[in-house]
Amino acid sequence: MYIYTVGVLGAGTMGAQIAEVVSYAGLPVVVADRQEALAVQGVAGVRRIYQARVDKGKMTPEQLEGKMLLVTASPNLEGLKGVDLVIEAVPEDLALKRQVFQELDHICARSAILATNTSALSISALGAGTTRPGNVIGLHFFNPAYAMPLVEVIPGLATDAHTVEDVVGFAEGLRKTPVVVKECAGFLVNRLLSPYLNEAVWCLQDSGVSLNEIEQDMVSFGMPVGPFALLDSVGLDIALEVARILHRSYGPRMAPAPLLEAMVKAGRMGVKAGQGFYRYGSAETGGVDHGLEDLMQQARQHSGGFRRQWTRARPLLAMVNEAVIALQEGVASARDIDLAVVAGTGFPNEKGGPLHLADQLGIDEVLRQLDKFTESVGIRFWPAPMLRRLVDAGFTGQLAGRGFFPY
């Protein structure tokens, strides 16, 4: 089915970004919310994104007005009655999303696809609450949607194959890079990014090196920003909630760093709160951040003092190991795992992604380091069983001519 018209339910920041992406591709889009004022604000958010393009000389004012003709506001769900695809972008609350999907199921045409932009919740659970589970699917955009090329497409247990094909084609029409991902907690990118970020916080807590040293080391590796600047941008509360979801699903290897929990408890949520690992706006006073120093000292006491050496291998191999576990579980192919991480996190393109990185380092060396970290750091570095099988079979990476990829 070709998708001609789209509805976005939830007129917040992400909803406005998705509506802009859809209208920029030339498709009519209805921005709906429970209140007319919220829907109007969502349309205004779309205009602001286009205005930024005009200000940068990437679009004329006339082109802006032409695109805005494709965007309309609806003060209720009834305005979505005639669309081919609804993309739900309400807050990450399973009960709320279930209620919304049940309402959409009654309102929308039987052929309409109901998609959710959730980053972690169960697609199958949402579909089970409707009479059309075959038409329910995950369509996860990354923030900011107008700049990030990746879109995760997540079928639920009952999602029909033609629904997947239609949504993949739709995403390609938006000039996005869709990756089909098996349903699991955190899906793919968040599942791999979270242990990288969490391990960076563990390193700050237990190694004794400075925040700036860790940031600079990861940027020198090729990351666009350091892990703490990224955490501040994402929001430490959001990062902690994702870590907790993954911890409940996957066990001890995903345990949130105590320093991350302490930061959130202290109200240091990142950019939006004026302070996180860095200080912003009126809170940016220069000099020593005594509040952060106190929280770090408390967390270090939790870890028994400075006991472990900093190496960027810790956060990187936390991501690599999780990528191998995801590959074992059939979450995505090796190619798609690397593609998603590069497109969705800013992982350096020249490194190819976490599985290409493992091949470059040597899978035998990756296994050796993970065994070492398991002894010195803890169980969260327990190697994926697939690594040992590959090493035993001689599939050790580039030098051997075969690893996760052929060479």
Topology of domain 189-302, CATH: N-(1-d-carboxylethyl)-l-norvaline Dehydrogenase; domain 2 (1.10.1040)
Residue listed under structure tokens 């993954």: 246
Residue type, 385: P
**C-alpha to C-alpha distance for 216 and 193, rounded to whole angstroms:** 18
Distances (CA, A) of 381 to 186, 193, 304, 371, 385: 19, 15, 19, 7, 12
| 270 conformational bin, left if phi > 0, alpha if psi -120 to 50, beta if neither | left
CA distances from 369 to 71, 319, 386 (A): 53, 13, 15
Nearest to 200 by CA among 231, 221, 234, 222: 231
Q: What would the CATH number be for the domain defined by 313-400?
A: 1.10.1040.10
Per-residue pLDDT, 22: 98
Residue with tokens 């929280």: 295
Q: Which two tokens stand for residue 103?
A: 């309402």
Q: What is the pLDDT, as a whole number, of residue 286?
A: 58
- Residue 89 to residue 14: CA distance in whole angstroms: 7
Return the amino acid letter for 322. E
Cross-strand partners of 406: 402
Closest CA relative to residue 168, chosen from 158, 177, 159, 160: 177
In the numeric block, the tokens 């979505």 are attached to 80
Q: Output the six-digit token pair for 107.
A: 């309102």
189-302 against 313-400: fold identical: yes
Would you call the peptide bond into 258 cis, given omega within 30 degrees of 0 as the criterion?
no
Residue segments in the chain with a per-residue pLDDT below the cut of 50: none
Question: Could you tell me the residue ranges of all domains in the chain?
Answer: 6-180, 189-302, 313-400
How confident is the model at residue 208, as a pLDDT?
Answer: 80
Q: What is the pLDDT of residue 284?
A: 59
Q: Distance of alpha carbon 256 from its chain centroid, rounded?
A: 17
DSSP 224: S
CATH 3.40.50.720 for domain 6-180: yes
> 89 near 10, Cβ under 8 Å?
yes
Cα separation of 287 and 338, whole Å?
40
pLDDT of residue 301: 77
pLDDT reported for residue 267: 95
Q: What is the pLDDT of residue 207?
A: 86
Active-site positions? 140
pLDDT at 298: 84
Tokens for 121, please give them: 């919740």
